[in-house]
Amino acid sequence: MTPDILQSMSDAAAMLFQWRMMFYLFLGAVIGTLLAVIPGVGGLMGLALLLPFTFSMPATEAIVFMIAALAVMSTADSIPAILFGVPGTPTSMVTVLDGYPMAKNGEAGRAMGAAFTSSVLGGIVGALLLIVVIPISMPVLMGATSPELFGFCILGLAMVGALAGGSMAKGIGAALIGVLLAFIGQDDQTATLRWSFDTLYLWDGLHILIIALGIYALPEIADLAILRKAIAPSGKRSKLSGVGMGFRDTMRNLWPVTRSATASSALGIIPAVGPTVIPWLVYSYTTMVTRGPKMFGRGDVRGVIASESSNNATVGGALLPTVALGVPGSAPMALFLGAMLLHGIAPGPDMLSRNLDLTYTMVWGIVLANVIGGLLALGLARPLSLIVLVRPAILVPVIAVVVFAGALQSTRQWEDGLFLLAIGALGWVMKRARWPRAPLFLAFILGPLVEKYFFISYNIHGWGFLVRPWVMALLGLTALFLAGIVIGRWARKRRQGKRLKSLRFTPSLSLDTVFAATVFAAFVLAFWTSLDWRFAAAIMPQIAAVAGIVFAGAALVGVLTTATWHSHGALEEETHFDLETDFGDLAPRTILLRGAHFLAMLALLGALSWAFGILVALPVFMIAYLLINREKALITLTVTASFWLVAWLLFDKVLRLAWPRPLFDIGSLLPF
Amino acid sequence: MISRRLFTLAAAAAMTITTAAQAQSPEEFFAGKTLRVVSSTGAGGTMDLYLLLFMKHAEKHLPEGTSLVLDHRTGGGGSIMANYIYNQARADGTEFGMPVPAIVSSTFTQPDATRYVPDEFTALGRLVDLPRVFVARTDSGITSFEDLRDAEGEITHGIMTVGTSLDQYMRIANEALGANFRAVAGYSGGGPTFLAMEQGEVQSTTAEPANLLANKWHLVESGDISVLGILGLEPVAGLEDYPNLLDLIDEDSPAYGKSLSVAQSAGIGLSLIAPPGVPEDRATYLREVFTATMTDPELLAEAEERSIPINYASGDWLQDLLGDAMNVDDDVRAWFASLVQ
- Separation of alpha carbons B98 and B80, rounded Å: 12
Task: Tell me, yes or no, if A230 comes closer than 8 A to chain B by beta carbon.
Answer: no
Q: Give the best-scoring range by mean pLDDT among A211-215, A323-327, B4-8.
A: A211-215
pLDDT confidence of residue A340: 85
Which positions in chain B touch A455 (Cβ < 8 Å)?
185-186
What's the whole-model pTM score?
Answer: 0.86
Would an 8 Å CB–CB cutoff place A524 in contact with chain B? no
Q: How far is B251 from chain A (nearest CA, A)?
A: 30
Contact yes or no for A191 and B198 at CB 8 A: no
How far is residue A17's CA from residue A368's CA, in Å, rounded to a whole number? 10
The CATH classification number of B31-129+269-338 equals: 3.40.190.150
**Closest CA relative to residue A374, chosen from A475, A235, A246, A545:** A246
Q: In whole angstroms, give the CA distance from residue A586 to residue A569.
A: 32
H-helix or E-strand spanning residue B132: strand B132-137
Q: Do A55 and B52 touch (CB under 8 A)?
A: yes
Q: Residue A95 in contact with residue A82, Cβ under 8 Å?
A: yes
Cα–Cα nearest to B50, from B137, B115, B125, B148: B125
For residue A333, name the pLDDT band (cuts at 50, 70, 90).
confident
What's the CA gap between B97 and B275, in Å, rounded?
A: 9
Burial of B141 from C-beta contacts in 10 A (0-12 / 13-18 / 19+): middle
What does the DSSP assignment read for A268-324?
HTSTTS-TTTHHHHHHHHHHHH--S---TTSS-HHHHHHHHHHHHHHHHHHHHHHHH
pLDDT digits (tens, 9 = 90+) for A437-491: 888 988 998 899 899 999 999 999 999 999 999 999 999 999 998 888 888 888 8
Asked whether residue B15 carries a pLDDT value surpassing 60, the answer given is no
Higher local confidence (pLDDT), A233 or A12: A12
In angstroms, the CA A558 to CA A624 distance is: 42
Question: Which residue of chain B has the CA closest to A454?
Answer: B186
Task: Verify whether the Cβ–Cβ distance B185 to A346 is below 8 Å.
Answer: no
Interface mutation vs chain B, best among A456, A470, A610, A670, most B CBs within 10 Å: A456
- Long-range contacts from B113-118, C-beta under 8 angstroms, 24+ separation: B113/A200, B113/A203, B113/B76, B113/B77, B113/B79, B114/B79, B114/B82, B114/B83, B115/B79, B115/B83, B115/B86, B115/B87, B116/B82, B116/B83, B116/B85, B116/B86, B116/B87, B117/B86, B117/B276, B118/B322, B118/B325, B118/B326
Which chain B residues are Cβ-neighbours of A146 within 8 angstroms?
196, 201
What does each C-alpha distance from A652 to A89, A615, B34 come to in angstroms? 21, 9, 12
- Range in A322-326, B98-102, B241-245, B314-318 the model is least confident about: A322-326
B183 C-beta neighbours (distance < 10 Å), count: 18
End-to-end Cα separation, chain A, in angstroms: 59
Question: Are the beta carbons of A456 and B184 separated by less than 8 Å?
Answer: yes
Q: Does A53 touch chain B (CB under 8 A)?
A: no
Q: What contacts A175, CB < 8 A, 6 or more positions away? A: A157, A160, A164, A439, A440, A442, A443
Q: How far is A155 from chain B, CA to nearest CA, in Å?
A: 21
Q: Which pLDDT value is given to residue B20?
A: 54
Q: Is A31 in contact with A398 (CB distance < 8 Å)? A: no
Nearest Cα of chain B lies from the Cα of A316 at a distance, in angstroms, of 20
Q: How many CB atoms lie within 10 A of CB A461?
A: 17
B68 min Cα distance to partner chain A (Å): 10
Closest partner residue to A51 (CB to CB) among B48, B56, B80 is B48
Mean pLDDT of A371-397: 84
Are A457 and A465 spatial neighbours (Cβ–Cβ below 8 Å)? Answer: yes
Question: Rounded mean pLDDT of A299-314?
Answer: 91
Structure confidence by residue, pLDDT tens digits, A489-508 = 888 777 777 777 777 888 88
Other CB atoms within 10 Å distance of the CB of residue B3: 7
Rounded to a whole number, what is the distance in Å from the CA of B330 to chain A's nearest CA?
22
- Residue B13's pLDDT is 55
Comparing A495 with B98, the larger pLDDT belongs to: B98
Query: In this predicted structure, what is the pLDDT of residue B2?
Result: 45
Residue A277's pLDDT band, with cuts at 50, 70 and 90, is confident
What was the pLDDT predicted at B203?
A: 97
* Best residue of A50, A460, A535 to probe chain B, by most B CBs closer than 10 Å: A460
pLDDT at A335: 80
Query: Cβ of B48 and A342 within 8 Å?
Result: yes
A63, A140, A146, best to mutate vs chain B, most B CBs in 10 Å = A146
| Residue-level pLDDT at A524 | 98
Indicate the SS3 state at residue B205: strand
The whole-angstrom separation of Cα B86 and Cα B103 is 12
Pick the residue of B306, B307, B310 with the most A CBs within 10 A to test the interface with A by mutation: B306
Strands B225-231 and B132-137: antiparallel
pLDDT for the residue A39: 72
- Rounded-to-integer distance, Cα B188 and Cα A17, Å: 38
Q: Residue A526: which residues within 8 A CB-CB, separation 6 or more?
A: A180, A195, A541, A544, A545, A548
Q: Categorize the per-residue pLDDT at A272 as very low, low, confident or very high, splitting at 50, 70 and 90.
A: low
DSSP reduced 3-state for B39: strand
Q: Report residue A220's pLDDT band, with 50, 70 and 90 as the boundaries.
A: confident
Distance between A16 CA and the closest CA of chain B, angstroms: 22
The answer to whether A288 and A161 have CB atoms below 8 angstroms apart is: no
User: Would the pLDDT of A190 be above 60?
Assistant: yes
Q: Which residues of B touch A191 (CB under 8 A)?
A: 161-164, 339-340
Q: Which residues pair with A561 in a beta bridge?
A: A505
The partner residue sitting opposite B306, judged by closest CB among A47, A142, A344, is: A344
Q: Do B162 and A411 touch (CB under 8 A)?
A: no
> Mean pLDDT, chain A, as a whole number?
86
Of B43, B199, B306, Cβ closest to residue A48: B43
Most confident of the following: A265-274, A378-387, A438-447: A438-447
Q: Give how far A264 is from chain B: nearest CA, Å.
A: 23
Q: Which of residues 313-342 of A touch B (CB under 8 A)?
A: 325-327, 334-339, 341-342
Specify the pLDDT at position B21.
54
CA distance A54 to chain B (A): 10
User: Where are chain A's structural domains?
Assistant: 3-390+437-498, 391-432+589-672, 499-564
Task: Give contacts of A 174-193 with B, CB under 8 A.
Answer: 186-191
Which phi-psi region, left, alpha or beta, contains residue A288 (left: φ > 0; alpha: ψ -120 to 50)? alpha
CB contact under 8 A, A343 and B112: no
Please state which of the ranges B102-106, B215-219, B286-290 shows the lowest mean pLDDT.
B215-219
B132-262 is classed in which CATH architecture? 3-Layer(aba) Sandwich (3.40)
Out of A178-182, A578-582, B98-102, pick the least confident. A578-582
Chain A stretch 196-215, residues whose beta carbon is closer than 8 A to a beta carbon of chain B: 198, 200-201, 203-204
Which residues of chain B lie closer than 8 angstroms to A668, CB-CB?
A: 90
pLDDT at A8: 81
Task: Report how far apart the first and last C-alpha atoms of chain B are (Å, whole number).
Answer: 59
SS3 category, A556: helix
Average pLDDT over residues B83-91: 93
Mean pLDDT value across residues A368-390: 83
pLDDT tens-digit series, residues A60-101? 898 999 999 988 888 888 888 898 888 877 788 889 989 999
Give A649-663 as a DSSP string: IIIIIIS----PPPS
For chain B, give me the number of helices (H) and strands (E)? Answer: 15, 11
Written as one string, the DSSP assignment of A481-527 is HHHHHHHHHHHHHHHHT-EEEEEEE-----HHHHHHHHHHHHHHHHH
Burial of A88 by CB count in 10 Å (0-12 exposed, 13-18 middle, 19+ buried)? buried
How does the average pLDDT of chain B come out, rounded?
90
Give me the pLDDT at residue B23, please: 67
- The ipTM, to two decimals, is 0.87
Closest CA to A33 of A378, A487, A480: A378
Instruction: Dump pLDDT digits (tens) for B294-337.
Output: 999 999 999 988 888 999 999 999 999 999 999 999 999 999 99
Residue A229 in this model has a pLDDT that exceeds 90: no
3-class DSSP state for residue B140?
helix
Identity of the amino acid at A614: I
Across the interface, whether the CB atoms of B214 and A346 are under 8 A apart is answered yes
Looking at residue B75, what is its pLDDT?
86
The amino acid sitting at B76 is: G
Q: What is the pLDDT of residue A233?
A: 62
Residue A339's closest chain B neighbor by CA? Answer: B44
Q: Are the C-beta atoms of residues B37 and B51 closer than 8 Å to each other?
A: yes
Residue of A nearest to B199 (CA): A142
Is A191 close to B74, i.e. CB distance below 8 A?
no
Distance CA A333, CA A318 (A): 7
How far is A284 from A264, CA to CA, in rounded Å? 13
Q: Mind listing the pLDDT tens digit for each residue in A200-209?
A: 899 889 988 8
Chain A closest CA to B228's CA: distance in Å? 22
Mean pLDDT confidence for B54-81: 91
Cα–Cα distance for residue pair A245/A234, rounded to 1 Å = 20
**Interface contact B80-A338, CB threshold 8 A:** no
**Strands (DSSP E) along A176-260, which ranges?**
185-186, 193-194
Looking at residues A514-530, what average pLDDT do you find? 97
Of A327, A334, A456, the CB nearest to B195: A327
Which residue from A minimizes the CA distance to B155? A460
pLDDT(A392) > 90: no
How near does any CA of chain A get to the CA of B6, in Å? Answer: 17
A431 and A152 Cβ atoms separated by less than 8 Å: no
Q: Do B196 and A459 touch (CB under 8 A)?
A: no
pLDDT of B3 > 50? The answer is no
Residue closest to A325 by CA, chosen among A462, A149, A487, A70: A149
Cβ neighbours of A523 (radius 10 Å): 24
pLDDT for B10 equals 52
What count of CB pairs under 8 Å joins A to B? 137
Question: For the segment B120-160, what is each residue's pLDDT rounded down to a tens digit?
Answer: 999 999 999 999 999 999 999 999 999 998 888 999 999 99
Q: How confident is the model at residue A16 (pLDDT cuts 50, 70, 90)?
A: confident
- For chain B, domain boundaries: 31-129+269-338, 132-262
* Residues B216-230 as b or e (16 or more Cβ within 10 Å = b): beebbeeeebbbbbb
With CB atoms and an 8 Å threshold, state whether B74 touches A204: yes
Percent of chain A at pLDDT exceeding 90: 38
Q: Least CA distance to A144: which residue of chain B?
A: B199
User: In the Cβ-directed half-sphere of A155, how many Cα atoms lie within 13 Å?
Assistant: 25
